[in-house]
Amino acid sequence: MKKQLFLLLLLACAFVTSVKADYQLERPKLVVGIVVDQMRWDYLYRYYNQFGDGGLKRLISEGYNFENMHYNYVPTVTAAGHASVYSGTTPAFHGIAGNNFHINGKKAYCCEDPNVKSVGSDSKAGMMSPRNMLVTNMCDQLRLATDFKSKVIGVSIKDRASILPAGHSANGAFWFDKSAGCFITSTYYMDELPQWVKDFNKKNRKDLNQDIAPLPIGVTLTTAMAIAALKGENLGKNPSGETDILAVSYSSTDYVGHAYGTRGEKTDEIYLTLDRELKILFNALDEQVGRGNYLLFLTADHAGCHNPKFMNDNKMPGGVWKQSAKKKELNEFYAQKYGIENIVTDFMQNQVFLDRDAIKAKKLCFNTICNEIAEKLAEDPVIVYAVPFEAVGRSSVPPAIKDRIIMGYCPNRSGDIQVIVLPGYMDNNYEKGTTHVAWNPYDTHVPFIMMGWHVDHGFTNRRVSINDIAPTVCAMLKIQMPTGSTGNVIYGD
């Protein structure tokens, strides 16, 4: 009996040893992240019957579709969105509190960096870096996990849409300098453009008198640049065998939305162009890396509201309110009351920034002034809530909105008062165009589809949040999630 037990024990140990010996770490050859600027979730189905085969239809038919993906903070804007997708957290932690915000009391652009210079042009368009982002992202974590053998490249028309996804340790991020008509980078990454970028610019340099951003050519140029990066950097064929990342963002969709709105020929044209260009990109990935060897995801940095005139013409609520006009009104009132010129230094992204130094110089209580201005704002019938950030937690703002304010607030960077307006109201042209910034589904509901390596076809309607993307990708790659990650793994659990 003892002999039999001993033999069984030996067999069990041999089995466990065999299992351990057989286990091998698997990762895709390449991760491709695609962000479509201002793409509403419902565009997937509004244009579905007009899409060709191989582009967005391929994503839907082959990928796993998270139909109920939402941003869980305000303000819903480009820089914050791109940072959140890749970092797995929100502005409260990653610090990209908007496209513009305040640093040390002064207005700052999200990626501005006076300590670097342009590479590829003589303009100031390259004085950019990711240094204002306070956390790592999934690209940084992959670089860390592979002892920096993985290669990471970011590509977009917009600087912020290339820089923030690529992360702090990227091998390169490239964006379009419209003053020079070519793609550039900054000395944060390198001192000279790679030869493949020089060759691309020589072949594709655009007329300096033409703004390509709101045109279909902006989409085609982004695809061409992404494929040039794929081949020029030999992504997915890393000599070390490690996974690479290509981060691509299509910006022209956002420019078209701002100019023409969510309906009309221009919007139709840009999304049908996007569909055709995605097919070209997917085919290039199949050829370069191999179908099934790359993990790809597509999402958006925010969505967009229907134009108010369009809504009113169809007997639905909506309208315009101007932050600039409200700023002027407040400054005139408080100049009379307290003798402070421009007590409101900025009114942007539905946030009010106050001149704290001027208030202090007048020996006034900041919290008292803040509450007073919030109360005055609330007198406007379009403004549903105006609440000082320091009082959000104890305010009467409903939890669904309150949580978004808290997750979007970054101390010393965000404004002093958050404004929530009626649904469908925006700081925009009434006649045409749109914008985005709000907590409402029209600004927060975006696509999220994964396709390729170890992804089965399917879909879910359970609600998920934008900060779930990065931890999910990291879990699939078997790497640590980013340093500020607050999301959950939502695939393969």
* Residues labelled catalytic: 78
Contacts made by residues 10-18, CB under 8 angstroms, sequence distance 24+: none
Question: Which residue shows structure tokens 């006649």?
Answer: 431
Structure tokens at 146: 């592979």
Work out the number of other CB atoms within 10 angstroms of the CB of residue 137.
Answer: 35
Distances (CA, A) of 354 to 98, 341, 348, 388: 17, 11, 12, 11
Contact between 6 and 12 (Cβ < 8 Å): no
Angle between helices 265-288 and 252-260 (to 10 degrees): 170
Name 493's bridge partners. none
Rg of the Cα trace of the chain? 24
Q: Count Cβ atoms below 10 Å from residue 313 Cβ, excluding itself.
A: 10
Burial profile 5-28: b = 16 or more Cβ within 10 angstroms, e = fewer:
eeeeeeeeeeeeeeeeeeeeeebb
DSSP-derived pairing of the beta strands 152-156 and 244-250: parallel
Burial class of residue 388 in the structure, from the number of CB atoms within 10 Å of its CB (0-12 exposed, 13-18 middle, 19+ buried): buried
Q: How many CA atoms lie within 13 A of 89 on its CB side?
A: 24
Q: ω before 75 within 30° of 0 (cis)?
A: yes
DSSP sequence for 219-285: HHHHHHHHHHHHHHTTTT--TT---EEEEEEE-HHHHHHHHH-SSSHHHHHHHHHHHHHHHHHHHHH
Q: How many CB atoms lie within 10 A of CB 211?
A: 12
Nearest to 307 by CA among 255, 274, 259, 349: 259
Residue 194 backbone class (left: φ over 0; alpha: ψ -120 to 50; beta: rest): beta
Alpha-carbon separation of residue 426 from 101, 305, 342, 349, 485 (angstroms): 19, 8, 23, 10, 31
